[in-house]
Amino acid sequence: MNLLIKQATIISSNSKFHHKTIDILIEGGVITEIKNNIQTKSNVKLIEVKGLCVSTGWLDLQAVSCDPGYENKEDLDSLIKCAASGGFTGVCIHNYNLPPLHNKVQIEYVLNKTQNKLVDVFPFGTITFEGKGKDLAEMFDMKQSGSLAFSDYKSPINDAGMLMRALQYSTNINSLIITHANEDSISHLGQMNEGEISTSLGLKGMPSLSEELMVQRNISILEYTGGHLHIPTISSKRSIELIKKAKSNGLNVTCGVAAINLFCDDSSLLEFDTNYKLNPPLRSKKDMLALRNAIEIGVIDVIVSDHAPHDTESKDLEFDLADFGMIGLQTAFSCALEGLKENNIDCIIKSFTTNPRQILGLDEPLIADGQLANLTLFTLEDQTMLTAKTNLSKSRNSPFFGKPLKGKIIGIVKGSKTFFN
């Protein structure tokens, strides 16, 4: 399908058309013209939306597919639909699978099943065998099969020696380690952020100290071993300070934040909605504001969806029995926009495009003549509302059903494949 995108504002700091409003002609999946005004042709589909913006296709650095093992919650096909609807042309999946993504067979299963799909799917192999933190997984074999990074998802590497060996080994194979920061012995049985609200609700808290101690420990190990460490979802002001200092000392450490942590604080749990039960949890308003500022100044590198599908049996329970997590691919952009506002759109887009690809060592697609199209189309003025009809996940664990949110994803274009909401 040939497309003509009319009068779109380009948001791409690597493009010479950055902040310019122009037309883009795509023929056979390739950008063939970028001009102030391109005449409409008979064999071209016209895309013309008020306030339209276009950027390089977005890449989400943290989601789970549940496939294989928990396909009743999500599968790779439904994940791809959610990602496309949320504006992502690429999505990285962590281990929430049975069997785990701990060997080359599992990596190849995901890659083979998603080959030539609308959205690129990048599976991350586990750091440890079965993601249980005891023995190193077959990282070399998984790297050879296509794993770009290694992560045990929400299971922190409690054994300091294990993390040290993982970082050393990943350096030898030119990869990176992604590890969740949570000291289980401190946050054990915690349900939400520890503070005044958790006390008033009578819920056991998860102190920010449990995250900060692990961030500090992991940075200290990185300083000893070298390599590249990525902390996927930080949530506290002190964690930001630790990472900022590590970066200033020249350590190769990067980090991300879940989009919802930029929009909501722990007061969202006053109604005991289990869809707000997250790990890391929604923290205080002070922490939320610090996270926003850290995106603006570049301490936090990426914003992620932290897409974690759960069925009704896992969420429609008493609060302390419900699983952690929410679906987020279709609302990640709106949450980021609600938190950071339109004047920070450049920061938002950079955290969805340039930075995640730099972390993974991937080339960023260009918005230029002769380049294969890899684009996300969106507006800042319209609104998004998640409903039973628009939700493309197999799961419904989101607090945003029926609630209007800022921004709207118009669609994505990736080569000759397209998706429009």
Q: Report, as residue numbers or ranges, the catalytic residues.
A: 306
Torsion angle of the four alpha carbons 74, 80, 83, 88, in this order, in degrees rounded to the nearest 10: 150
- DSSP letter at 353? T
Cβ count near 285 (within 10 Å): 12
Nearest 5°: the CA angle 127, 75, 417 is 105
Q: What DSSP element (H or E) covers 327?
A: none
Say how far apart CA 327 and CA 30 lie, in whole Å. Answer: 32
* Side chain identity at residue 407, one-letter code: G
Say how far apart CA 346 and CA 356 lie, in whole Å. Answer: 15
Torsion angle of the four alpha carbons 334, 338, 341, 345, in this order, in degrees rounded to the nearest 10: -20
Say how far apart CA 109 and CA 128 lie, in whole Å. Answer: 19
Closest CA to 181 of 208, 147, 150: 208
